[in-house]
Structure 1
Amino acid sequence: MSATISLTQSDVMTAVRSFLLGVLPSGVEVVRGFDNRVPAPTGPNFVQFWMIGTARLSTNWNEYVGNTQPAPAPQDGKMQARKGVEARVQIDFYGPAAEEYADMVSTLWRDPYGCDAFAAINPEIQPLHADDAKNMPIVNGESQYEQRFMVEALLQINPVTTVPQDFAEELAIEEFINVDAAYPPGA
């Protein structure tokens, strides 16, 4: 078995999208950013979001889990290394209601409502805080200004990396070796 991780960037982005869809009015399209040659949604209001960075919040904490195979054979088990990570997400709101929607999301992200919503989606993902909405209009391909408000929102995620670990409940010692006699110092 090779190493596995419990929480991927895709899991985090799915949780963010679920939260946004639960907060915004029905019909507002929510898309993940950075897709080349994909046109913007056609509705009057839409949201685009992406991960912009991560930062470690803590050192690892480990848990060792053994199997219940009969002794004295080594038991197949695992070591789980969990770390706390701050994930930063940029959320851009476009259209006539961009400011209103950005304020709603920023407010609820910092509220117990946001904690409860994310806990229902994935308990390993929790909102930390979000910036106030910033007015960041853009110029589109037709050289026209488009209304855009941006919110930077932070999450805490706790991914667990699992690797194989051998365990034994008892060991059988068959022969003692005098180390100094078998391997003399300086030899």
Structure 2
Amino acid sequence: MVQGTAMATVTHEQIFREVRAYLLGLFSCPPESVIQGYQNDAPLPKQAVVMSILFEHAFDFPASYYEPERDKAAVQQSVEVTMQIDFYGNQAGDRARKLSNLWKNQYTTARLTSCQPLYCKDPMQMTFINEQSRYEERWTVELALQYNPEFEHELIYLDMPVITLSKPKE
């Protein structure tokens, strides 16, 4: 019987925090320039780097691990996340290329702990016309990463008496 469930061991918030710290170190840019996407009524900072999770899919079936001594069970699954990183400003193309090169390298693997890099697409130029009808430089890189969230929940275990079967007498 399942009772309550707990939060995941790794969340999207943790992934955003970790990738943001990685990007800040990679580009030595001001902290306010690296932001999470989909923020309403907030102008982009100068030389912005915007992170957005596009989608995710499971690599495998959930695996269950039981801990009868704690009346708990845990369910873990390996998940691939696709994250889009948008670079704005005059350094956008160079930053996109640097991220693309280093994402596929042990440099990145050594710096991430709650998730790990898998692969990334090549940078794409996505210049757009802003609200003042001016072209703005924008480059985009799609990153794939893996994380393994685990959810713990309570589980009531039933102690069964040991039944010994004996051979019938003849």
Does the TM-score normalized on the shorter chain lie above 0.5? yes
Residue 11 in 1 paired to residue 14 in 2? yes
1:31 aligned residue: 35
| SS of the residue 2:119 aligns to | strand
Distance 1:116 1:65 in 2: 32
Aligned partners of 2:135 and 2:4: how far apart in 1? 50
> In the TM superposition, what are the counterparts of 1:32-181 in structure 2 within 5 Å?
32-41=36-45, 43=46, 45-67=47-69, 76-119=70-113, 122=114, 125-167=115-157, 171=160
**Superposition deviation, residue 166 in structure 1:** 2.3
Tell me the equivalent position of 1:177. none
1:165 deviates by 1.6
Consecutive unaligned residues of structure 1, counting only runs of 5 or more, are: 68-75, 174-187
Q: Percent identity?
A: 28
4+ residue stretches of structure 1 with deviation over 3 A? 170-173
How many residues align structurally? 158
- Other structure's SS at 1:15 match: helix
CA offsets per residue over residues 131-186 of structure 1, 9 Å max, x none? Answer: 11111101111010100000000110100011112236x5458xxxxxxxxxxxxx
1:21 to 24, 45, 48: 24
State the Cα RMSD in Å: 1.7
Secondary structure, in 3 states, of the residue corresponding to 1:167? Answer: coil
What secondary structure is seen at the aligned counterpart in 2 of 1:142? coil
1:109 counterpart letter in structure 2: W
**Partner Cα separation in structure 2 for residue 26 and residue 142 of structure 1:** 26
Unmatched tracts of structure 2, length 5 or more? 163-170
Residue identity matched to 1:157: Y
TM-score (norm: length of structure 1): 0.79
Report the structure number with the largest CA radius of gyration.
1
